[in-house]
Amino acid sequence: CLGRLGDDAATAHLLEHLDDPDLRGPAAQALGELGLAGHAEAAIEPLSRAVEDASSSDAFARAEATKALGSVARGHPGAGVDALCKALRLDPSSTVRAAAARALGTVSADPERIRPPLLAALDDAEAVVRLDVIESLRGLPALHAAATPRLIALLDDPQDAVVEAAAEALEELAPPSALAPLRALSEDSARSQQVRQAARRAALRLERSAPNAR
pLDDT at residue 38, rounded to an integer: 72
pLDDT at residue 199, rounded to an integer: 99
204 class by beta-carbon count within 10 Å (0-12 exposed, 13-18 middle, 19+ buried): middle
pLDDT at residue 125, rounded to an integer: 98
Digitized pLDDT (tens) for each residue of the chain, 214 residues in all: 444 444 577 788 888 888 888 889 898 888 877 767 677 788 889 999 999 986 778 899 999 999 999 988 877 777 899 999 999 999 999 999 999 999 999 887 789 999 999 999 999 999 999 999 999 999 999 999 999 999 999 999 999 999 999 999 999 999 999 999 999 999 999 999 999 999 999 999 999 987 665 5
pLDDT at residue 7, rounded to an integer: 56
pLDDT at residue 56, rounded to an integer: 74
CB 89 within 8 Å of CB 120: yes
Nearest alpha-carbon partner for 87 in 64, 109, 110: 64
- The domains of the chain, with CATH numbers, are 1-130 (1.25.10.10), 140-214 (1.25.10)
CB 128 within 8 Å of CB 96: no
pLDDT at residue 59, rounded to an integer: 93
pLDDT at residue 3, rounded to an integer: 40
pLDDT at residue 213, rounded to an integer: 56
